[in-house]
Amino acid sequence: MNQEDYEKQQEMEKLLENDRNQRINQVEQLQNQNILEQERLNNEKLRYQEELLREQNTLQFEKEMDDRIFQLRMTLAQTSDTLSRNDLQALLNEEEAKRDCYYAEKEARRKAAELAEQEKVVKEQELAKKPDKGKGKKSNKKKKSNTNTLATIVLGILTLVAVIILVTVYKSYKQKYATESTSSTSTTTVHKSSVTSTTSDTKKQSSTRSKQASSSQKVSSKSSSKIKNSVSASSSKKVTSSSSIGSRVSKDSSEFKIKDYTGQDYKIAVKDLVNNYSISESQIKIEEISTSDYKEGLIISQSPSQGETFKVSGDDKITFKVAAESTVTMPNLTGYTYSEAIAALTALGVSSSHITVYQADPNSSTGYVQVSSPSSTATVTAQTPYYGGTLSGNVVLYLAADEEQEEN
């Protein structure tokens, strides 16, 4: 082997060594890239799991919040005591205010995220265009400041809306409570003023009668004894008749038999009791019942019933259950069994005569057929009104088909 062949061999070995080193470096780089990619995938998976868990927690929180409001509304519909209803209404207003505030903040965060995403897209587009350093930087700064200003304004407006909602709910509840306390206070004041005026009138009449009596005594002293006797006889008859009339009136007004006021407007009934039977308004209790079966303001039931005796001077009260406009929200009954749905609607004041039931039937041209007595375990698949709507008028339930029908 000469020198030239040796140099060529050495050069070939160097080339092979370099090629081998390059391949080793490429393999190491691929391994590193695979490790980084695996770490990225693991991080993505972990972030996805965290987002999924956070979304599940959010849905669970919203469901619990809606369930609390639904339970409060059902309890309010079932409660007849005024004080308890006021407390429940306050709790319901507070929960609804919290829910409105929560959804307002959620909407604000969503809009802020959309603005951030739009800003990111704008930046990527600007980087793709590769503008000049001088003018490009200035325009980027202006757009970024405008976007940040817009995001700040949107967040401020949404926060202000949430605060206004809370303040409005609080003021409405406070005004309602103040109105109720003011009405009770004014009623007491009217009773006191009427008693005071009656007392003052009685005193004036007694003083006038004493003056007239003294003057009549002076006149009678100058008249004859016969006139005295006739006057005294007539006066004694008048006193006797007036006393008998007074005793009869007091006896008649101390107690009376209750009439049937059901189906009448409660204002007319209260006016009749106050004017004709000397009943105080504080002795009349009005209980509002949310229902769609009766016209608003009509008396549904009364206590005491017709024909029972009521003592005016006693501590008992006359109670009228009055129909009020239904403000109950339709619950979500899908997934309930038929018996569970009927129980929930009955608790909200819906009578069975206002509930229509349709059941899926593959033999029907419309897919459903009206039924009167479905299976108690049939599942509700749809409803009208929808969840969240006002519960008034008729309710329509759509049930899944029976197992026997499905087999046929």
Q: What is the pLDDT of residue 363?
A: 84
In this predicted structure, which of 78-92, 95-109, 250-264, 364-378 has the lowest mean pLDDT? 250-264
Q: Which of 304, 331, 336 is nearest to 318 (CA)?
A: 304
Question: Which domains are delineated in the chain?
Answer: 255-324 (3.30.10.20), 329-399 (3.30.10.20)
**Lowest model confidence (mean pLDDT) among 172-186, 273-287, 344-358:** 172-186
The amino acid sitting at 240 is: T
Please give the share of the chain, as a percent, with pLDDT higher than 70. Answer: 72
For 41-97, the pLDDT digits (tens) are 999 899 889 988 988 998 999 899 899 999 888 888 888 888 888 889 989 898 988
Q: What is the pTM of this model?
A: 0.29
The pLDDT of residue 112 is 87
Cα atoms in the Cβ-side hemisphere of radius 13 Å centred on 256: 15
* DSSP one-letter string for 95-127: HHHHHHHHHHHHHHHHHHHHHHHHHHHHHHHHH
The 10 Å Cβ neighbour count of residue 75 is: 15
Longest dimension (CA), the chain: 186
**For residue 21, with 0-12 CB atoms within 10 Å meaning exposed, 13-18 middle and 19 or more buried, which class applies?**
exposed
Contact by Cβ (8 Å): 330, 387: yes
The answer to whether residue 337 scores a pLDDT higher than 90 is yes
The DSSP secondary-structure symbol of 298 reads: B
* Angle, CA 326 vertex, CA 325 and CA 328 arms, to 5°: 150
Check whether the bond before 331 is cis (ω within 30° of 0).
Answer: no
Q: Where are the beta strands (DSSP E) in 15-69?
A: none
Which of helix, strand or coil describes residue 356? strand
pLDDT in the model for residue 218:
44
Tokens of 6: 């040796």
| Position 303 confidence tier, pLDDT thresholds 50, 70, 90 | very high
Contact between residue 297 and residue 267 where contact means Cβ atoms under 8 Å apart? yes
CA-nearest of 90, 83, 89 to 285 is 83
Query: Environment class of residue 322 by beta-carbon count within 10 Å: exposed (0-12), middle (13-18) or buried (19+)?
Result: buried
Q: Is the pLDDT of residue 221 over 60?
A: no
Q: How many residues does the chain have?
A: 408
Q: Which residue has the higher pLDDT, 237 or 377?
A: 377
Among the listed residues 408, 329, 342, the one whose alpha carbon sits nearest the alpha carbon of residue 376: 342
Nearest to 360 by CA among 344, 374, 343: 374
Checking phi first, is residue 332 left (phi over 0); if not, alpha (psi -120 to 50) or beta? beta
Nearest CA to 299 out of 285, 281, 314 is that of 285
Q: How many whole angstroms separate alpha carbon 176 and alpha carbon 288?
A: 15
**Is the separation of the CB atoms in 387 and 328 below 8 Å?**
no
**Amino acid, single-letter form, for residue 174:** K
Check pLDDT > 70 for residue 20.
yes
Q: Rounding to the nearest 10 degrees, give the CA dihedral for residues 222, 225, 229, 231.
A: -20
Separation of alpha carbons 35 and 54, rounded Å: 28
Average pLDDT over residues 132-151: 58
Residue 222 has pLDDT above 50, yes or no: no
Residue 368 — pLDDT band, cuts 50, 70, 90? confident
CA dihedral 235, 240, 241, 243 (to 10 degrees): 120
pLDDT for 284: 94
Please say if the pLDDT value at position 224 is more than 60. Answer: no
- Cβ count within 10 A of residue 333: 20
Range 128-142 average pLDDT: 56
What pLDDT score was predicted for residue 197? 46
CB 308 within 8 Å of CB 258: yes
pLDDT band at 241 (very low <50, low <70, confident <90, very high): very low
pLDDT digits (tens, 9 = 90+) for 174-213: 665 555 554 444 444 434 444 344 444 544 454 545 444 4
